[in-house]
Structure 1
Amino acid sequence: MGGQFRPARPPAALRPHVLRYLGYREESAVPVQRRQAPAAGVALVIGFHPLELSGPELGATSAAAFVGGLSDSWVLTRFTGPQAGVQVDLTPVGLYTLLGGRALPNGAVPTLDELSDPVLAALPDRLAAAPDWPARFGLVSDVLAARLLDLRARRPAPEVMHAWRRISATGGGLRVSELAAETGWSRRHLQARFSAQIGIGPRTAGRVLRFARASAMVTGSRAPLAGIAATCGYADQAHLGREFRALAGVTPGGFRAEWSGFPFVQDEGPAAGQDRPA
């Protein structure tokens, strides 16, 4: 199996909502399966070849270009033969703005064609025709800038954006009651508005972000699992193990083994867990 992976940073103006680009090109004569666990961001995959997708919430499907919303469950990807494209890692606030004021429900993975957005649907063919990775990244940046930097674009409510920033900054360590007090909303109103504009509720978002930090440490280091559990706010190593089985379908050790040796498993950071190619 051979592979080419080209990470790139988006232009500075896009970085508040666009975490990273990853160009990828692989080919394998035997099936390649990868486990995509819950992550702190969402992945816009602009692929050129069909990819098999399956999971406990998703079922089984096949798609080349799609977007995965925030989720508290895992997805398995599988391919044989060629795979190539560009993965764009976005914050959920960025995705809401990109989609014109629309959040994806927990675990939703619509294809770009299903979004009824001709500009996004045309991206796979445009990128495939581009001569090299810089040209592809430039095309993606132009499309994203036209949406994300438009002053007329629909964005989440300021209170929702504040809550998301606080959950992100604390790694999921804030109680919903604290977030509600900071926004001036009731817990029920925050839950409803946050879910509608981010895709999952604030409590679930905290759980996902805590797990994303832990999974990045599991794959990005050889640190003892007990230490990772303590650092990420779990009661103990057993608690960490239960969360891995619930959210990733595998033990922490099994997750580490699956991703060991992969060249672009990111160290702990804001896009933790969201930099692996689909």
Structure 2
Amino acid sequence: MAGHQLTRAVTVGPAQGSLPCAASPVCVRPAARTVPTDGAATAPAAPPGPLVGYREPVEEGVLVRRFPSSRVLLVVAFGDPVRVGADGDAPARPLHSLVAGLQEETRVLGVGGSQHGVRLWLSPLTAYSLLGAPMHLVSNAYTELADLWGPRSARLTEQLAAAEDWAARFALLTSALARLRAEGPQPDPAVAYAWRQLTATAGTARVGALAERVGVSRRHLVRRFRQQVGLPPKTVARLLRFERAGALLRSGGRTLAEVAALAGYADQSHLARDVREFTGVPAGELTALLRPAAPPPPTGPPAVAGRAVSA
């Protein structure tokens, strides 16, 4: 990386989703909970994706390298902004509450000051309903949430910041997101089927076969998929294979050739090309970069609601 140095070796890679909890934040991961409805009764609700609350002071100059991801990151922040740049360039653009759609390239986030807020990881189809915008507009980009939600973003941020504790904050956010999701556009069944098959096969399903199975032309499926997921299905398949390879490399005990075969690549050189394109580093260096400096984000809600995982 030219021009600057990672002052904290925090790298977020395939199968990790996004920014990890740092060494000592307040992180809370809620499970299904009970939230008030319009009447006197209560109804169980769960967040639409893995959810982490965080609060920590961070020294200035900390940089986080975030590799491409097939998940959409939604951040509602109450503290100082982060700055976003391409890998190899010093982060410059400040963002507060933000959305990061599906990414094909590595990004560097500059983090410092008082970091406080909530991070949520979403499937692209869930994000499509929540954001109410074509997903290709937020792919390969970090977008200020206010650009998508308008004044609603500021109101939600103020309400979450004013909540008395994490339990109240998560209940409020979960309820707000449930309303937005119900009001927003719903995914095309053909796109939803293609997404499920691609994720279930870690990117090895054939796009042409998927289009045939749902009874539409390949061109139609690709167009609708890009609108509602953010990238064409063939690109998403590459991301999913890359994430699968990253998980295998992180677990250790396998050669690159074995990882390539298990992740659905034609051969080791095919894996090496994708790793170099997505991360800018050789495949042989990826394992060390993927070793987390802190616990990775949750893969799902824990058994105990509102459990603090660090303090």
TM over 0.5: yes
Quick check: 1:189 aligned with 2:208?
no
Quick one: which of 127, 130, 134 aligns to 1:95?
A: 127
Quick check: 1:25 aligned with 2:55?
yes
Q: CA RMSD in A?
A: 2.6
Percent of matched pairs sharing the same residue: 35
- 2:65 — aligned with what? 35
Distance 1:174 1:28, change over 3 A: same
Of 84-93 and 49-58, deviating more is 49-58
How far did residue 6 of structure 1 move?
A: 2.6
- 2:106 — aligned with what? 74
Of 187-196 and 208-217, deviating more is 208-217
**Contact 2:99–2:145 at 8 Å: present in 1 too?**
yes
Q: Aligned partners of 1:217 and 1:135: how far apart in 2?
A: 38
Number of residues of Structure 1 aligned to a counterpart in Structure 2: 264
- 1:275 — aligned with what? none
Of 253-262 and 80-89, deviating more is 253-262
Higher relative CO (CA 8 A, sep ≥ 6), structure 1 or 2?
Answer: 2
Of 82-91 and 255-264, deviating more is 255-264
5+ residue gaps in structure 1?
A: 271-278
Give a deviation string over 1:205-235, Cα, whole Å, max 9, x none: 111111122223334x223342322211123
How far did residue 96 of structure 1 move?
A: 0.8
Distance 1:237 1:10, change over 3 A: farther
**Contact 1:10–1:19 at 8 Å: present in 2 too?**
no
Quick check: 1:44 aligned with 2:74?
yes
SS of equivalent to 1:81: strand
TM (norm. structure 1) is 0.84
- 1:7 — aligned with what? 29
Letter in 2 for 1:114: D
**Contact 1:52–1:62 at 8 Å: present in 2 too?**
yes
Distance 1:71 1:261, change over 3 A: closer
Distance 1:124 1:214, change over 3 A: farther
Distance 1:231 1:266, change over 3 A: farther
**Contact 2:249–2:259 at 8 Å: present in 1 too?**
yes
Distance 1:28 1:57, change over 3 A: closer
Quick check: 1:115 aligned with 2:148?
yes
How far did residue 101 of structure 1 move?
A: 4.9
Quick check: 1:218 aligned with 2:249?
yes
Q: Aligned partners of 1:253 and 1:85: how far apart in 2?
A: 35
Q: Aligned partners of 1:121 and 1:212: how far apart in 2?
A: 34
**Contact 1:93–1:156 at 8 Å: present in 2 too?**
yes
Higher Cα radius of gyration: 2
- 1:165 — aligned with what? 196
